[in-house]
Amino acid sequence: MDELKQIRTFIKVVDSGSFSAAARDTSSVSSVARQVKALENELGARLLNRNSRRLSPTEAGRRLYERAHDLVNGLDSVKAEVRSLHEDVTGTLRVSLRVSAGTTVVMPALPKLLAQYPDLVVDIRLTDERLDLIAEKIDVAMWMGVLPDAEIVARRLTPTRRIVCGSLRYLERHGAPSKPDELRRHQCILFSAPSYGRIWTFKRGDETHEVEVRGSVRANNGLVLLSAALQDLGLIVVPEWMVWAYLRRGELVRVLQDYTVSPHQDHAELYAVFQSSRGASRKVRVFVDFLLATFGALSSDPTGAGPPQKPTPSKERC
């Protein structure tokens, strides 16, 4: 245990740059210096270059710091996780959810979680921005896309498998397209973010089809696009998780299901993320498990197509 304490002290000295800074609020400067010296004697190597202004690690010190830093953080996380097994799921949990996923998937499932943990308070921020977890005091966030190289834990919730769908009433009036080129005669509801355009790309095996679509409605918000589709205004391309409940109820019907589709070059995945340096408290783990279970239920159908749907005029099923 003394050796572990010495390593922790050494890491703190390297992080802070001096004995006095490392000793602040915890111990004396002489105690810090003695612990580092004892560690050097134990290892038979000088770990720090000392001058009147600042300390810096030697080559041996740098290697010890790099290896020990991750090990100590890992140990702290394990200890926090073990302690959390005996914690009550209580208090406030601050979460940041993407707007569409939070509204269409998480919120409908939230009553079940709160019924199980009545002492838990979930403070929700809906935003598609990646907030600074530490600065904003966010316990769990939902991010989409490539993850930064940072000290976070990320659990994948779902890939962004996109589908084309429309309301049953729209398809009864206009027919269901059986191949991508037929979209040219349909109203298509368009996402107007800068990196998106009017070209929808479809793939099936070795085939690739690029179709320039048109429509009377454009919006920069996925919930507005969804609302337009439910109002029979045309066909949309959306992540499957976003419309699963509507597919299940028959309010929306999937078409062109033999094709993969993308209105954008990126196929981002959806993640639950939290700070690894804090360890995972029980309420964090409970909420992440809740997200995993909620999104996992959406893809539990073995066909990957969701529950059975009413037939469209072309006898396609979702």
Instruction: Render pLDDT for 215-226 as a digit per residue (tens, 0 to 9).
Output: 999 988 889 999
pLDDT at residue number 318: 30
CB burial string 95-129: b at 16+ within 10 A, e below? bbbbebbbbbbbeeeeeebeeebeebebeeebebe
Q: Report pLDDT for 21.
A: 79
The three-point CA angle 260-263-265 to 5° equals: 90
Q: Average pLDDT in the 151-160 region?
A: 82
Domain count of the fold of the chain: 3
Whether residues 167 and 257 fall in one domain = yes
Domain that holds residue 28: 2-84
Q: Give the pLDDT band (50/70/90) at residue 22.
A: confident
Digit-coded pLDDT (tens) for 156-187: 888 778 899 999 999 999 999 999 999 999 99
What's the pLDDT at 214? 92
**Residues sharing a CB contact under 8 Å with residue 167, sequence separation 6 or more, in sequence order:** 229, 230, 231, 232, 251, 252, 253
Q: Quick one: pLDDT band at residue 195, thresholds 50, 70, 90?
A: low
pLDDT of residue 199: 87
Question: Does the pLDDT at position 84 exceed 60?
Answer: no
Do 146 and 280 share a domain, yes or no?
yes
Same domain, 284 and 143: yes
CATH code of the domain covering residue 273: 3.40.190.10
Tell me: do 58 and 126 sit in the same domain. no
What angle is formed at CA 215 by the lines to CA 209 and CA 218, rounded to 5 degrees? 110
Q: CA–CA separation, 231 vs 234, rounded Å? A: 8
Q: Are 150 and 276 part of one and the same domain?
A: yes
Checking if the pLDDT of 2 tops 60, the result is yes
pLDDT level of residue 264 (50, 70, 90 thresholds): low
| Per-residue buried b or exposed e for 171-208, using 16+ beta carbons within 10 Å of the residue's own CB | beebebbeebeebeebbbbbbeeeebeeebbbeeeeee
Q: Does residue 279 or residue 155 have the better pLDDT?
A: 155
